[in-house]
Structure 1
């Protein structure tokens, strides 16, 4: 049953008022693949626009907090925590991981996915003058807990 449609088959925001408030967490990841020299320049904090990872960190946090403002059926939520981590996983690849938490009646998957997406876009924006060939992705939900069910991305479950 599709829950995002009313009796007239028009979009609606799902009513979550009957759900129990629980602690909910979501972790999402994305990557930015770039020229090795671009990543080295980021690490050295020599990008002309400033400290790329500091700006991307703040952008990701801001995006998580405002997710419902630009994803139409996403409920506004009270985030109790947002954190981003950046890790060089190859000479040309920067991985971004966001963890978002709340105590509420709906999950924070979209907030975590939005956080890593906006952080990646911020990195692109700040580095495009020296590397227009950067690529973003894959972007995916790694794990979510709380609510009716927990979820772990299958590739991650296999490796644990």
Structure 2
């Protein structure tokens, strides 16, 4: 294997079995990750939008999605087997409607640690999107969770920005 070839970090090279990444020798740095999900609700559901919220019998959709996404980000290691359990210092979820009348969810996770928070940000955005689906499915099942992706990460060995 050449020095420029990438390896899977969650595989033990001696056994070829899954393994948690050893971060014991890494430096503690401030780490930030931003992820987004986009949900297409369609005209039938968007007609229920009043101001910046959709009210359902289950409650306010976007407010509930923010709480669910935050809770999920804090529980990422319980959901993804080889993730390190992290004590998030901040998790912020913002929900808005973009120019195409899609629900735009952005989750920013922050920590000072030896490992990054990309999975926490992605989990927060994903679960917020799933919560919106769950709360709106009584109106229509034609909801599409169109895109979930990492937008940016800072700290650690390398930064990323889309």
TM-score, with length taken from structure 2: 0.90
Q: Does 1:11 align with 2:18?
A: yes
Q: 1:48 aligns with which of 53, 57, 70?
A: 57
- 2:8 is matched with 2
Which consecutive segments of 4 or more residues in structure 1 shift more than 2 A? 42-46
Spell out the pairing of 1:61-100 with structure 2 (5 A cutoff).
61-90=70-99, 92-100=101-109
Contact 1:42 1:52 in 2 (8 A): no
User: Runs of 5+ in structure 2 lacking a partner?
Assistant: 1-6
- Taking the aligned partners of 2:99 and 2:66, their CA distance within structure 1 comes to 20
State yes or no: 1:145 paired with 2:154.
Answer: yes
Structure 1 or 2: larger helix share? 1
- Other-structure match for 2:138: 129
Task: Give the total of aligned pairs.
Answer: 153
Query: Which consecutive residues of structure 1, in runs of 5 or more, have no partner in the other structure?
Result: 154-160
1:39 is matched with which residue?
46
What is the deviation of 1:146?
A: 0.3
Does the Cα contact within 8 Å between 2:34 and 2:108 map onto a contact in 1?
A: yes
Q: TM (normalized to structure 1)? A: 0.91
Alignment partner for residue 107 of structure 1, among 112, 116, 120? 116
